[in-house]
Amino acid sequence: MKRFEDKVVVVTGAASGIGKEIAHAFAAQGARVAIADLKKDAAEAAAAEIVALGGVAMGLEMDVSDEAAVNAGVDAAHAVYGRIDILVSNAGIQIVHPVHEFPFDQWKKMLAVHLDGAFLTTKACLKYMYAANAGSVVYIGSVHSKEASPLKAAYVTAKHGLLGLARVVAKEGAKHNVRANVVCPGFVRTPLVEKQIPEQAKELGISEAEVVRNVMLRETVDCEFTSMEDVAEAVMYFAGANSNALTGQSLIVSHGWFME
Ligand code: NAD
């Protein structure tokens, strides 16, 4: 019996990067996976990769900041698979500016994707989890849920906010046997981070190599990026917990960048 045999997992932002790895990890452990992402083609292509490996997956077109799209996507996953056991709220973007120059529309976009997205997908999935009296929500936070960096006001604010949302969902969900936790990765070399390296080099006036060595990895214990597999393992650890002993928590997976 595999670890998540027949469980149904919705992973947002799973056409790329960390979300895609999480979807593969759950599928390899027997779960049926709904891959939600902005573009239908990309979501379906990511699902097809899992199916080609012998797993069960479907692609969903979903902008997590759009309530109607979220509800339609989660309902479609439930209609196909008959249950929603686990939500991994992962979709995210990055926009960097100093606070005094941060364009308001970009600030709002960041909070919409990260916070509205987490709230809307949680709300849509809780309906089914409460009815089944079981469920687990895992938010992908960041070391920036605990720590600040220059230029990342919107990201840091949103990622800190996820801790609050998870704690409330943990308190409200307990009587329905629903848990909520946050995984907080350090820098993982995904498209989101690749995009930031030249942007930060420009903003900070240093080379790309210096951004990696002196900004991104400076505080780690070994100057290493966190791997997508490390993040997926932590997500499965929370998702597989079978009592309310492990709820309302956050786990930092960052090569020691941030310790608490
Ligand atoms: P990525 O850019 O590789 O993947 C993000 C995915 O989210 C993409 O497929 C994108 O299409 C999707 N997405 C973006 N906006 C969306 C929306 N409105 N609705 C639905 N899907 C949307 O990024 P990643 O590095 O894999 O990041 C995934 C998550 O991990 C994010 O929440 C990010 O903040 C977090 N994170 C990343 C790192 C890192 O170093 N890469 C570190 C800590 C936390």
pLDDT at 242: 87
Closest residue by CA, ligand 1 atom 18: 63
Pocket test for ligand 1, best of 162, 165, 192 (most atoms within 8 A of CB): 192
User: Which entry of 81, 128, 155, 237 is annotated as an active-site residue?
Assistant: 155
Q: What is the pLDDT of residues 230-246, one digit of tens each?
A: 999 999 999 999 899 99
Q: Any idea which of 147-161, 174-188, 190-204, 229-243 has the lowest mean pLDDT?
A: 190-204
CATH architecture of 8-185+227-253: 3-Layer(aba) Sandwich (3.40)
| The pLDDT of residue 203 is above 90 | no
% residues pLDDT > 70 (the chain): 100
| The pLDDT of residue 133 is above 90 | yes
pLDDT at 192: 87
Q: 237 an active-site residue?
A: no
Mean pLDDT of the chain: 97
Question: 1 alpha carbon to ligand 1 midpoint, in Å?
Answer: 31
Closest residue by CA, ligand 1 atom 6: 13
| The pLDDT of residue 200 is above 90 | no
**3-class SS letters over the chain:** CCCCCCCEEEEECCCCHHHHHHHHHHHHCCCEEEEEECCHHHHHHHHHHHHHCCCEEEEEECCCCCHHHHHHHHHHHHHHHCCCCEEEECCCCCCCECHHHCCHHHHHHHHHHHHHHHHHHHHHHHHHHHHHCCEEEEEECCHHHCCCCCCEHHHHHHHHHHHHHHHHHHHHHHHHCEEEEEEEECCECCHHHHHHHHHHHHHHCCCHHHHHHHHHCCCCCCCCCECHHHHHHHHHHHHCCCCCCCCCCEEEECCCCCCC
Q: What is the pLDDT of residues 42-85, one digit of tens each?
A: 999 999 999 999 999 999 999 999 999 999 999 999 999 999 99
114 Cα nearest atom in ligand 1: 32
Residues of the chain with CATH 3.40.50.720: 8-185+227-253
Task: Identify the burial level of 60 via C-beta atoms within 10 angstroms of its C-beta, where 0-12 means exposed, 13-18 middle and 19 or more buried.
Answer: buried
pLDDT at 218: 95
Average of pLDDT values for 211-222?
95
| The pLDDT of residue 86 is above 90 | yes
Between 200 and 157, the more confident residue is: 157
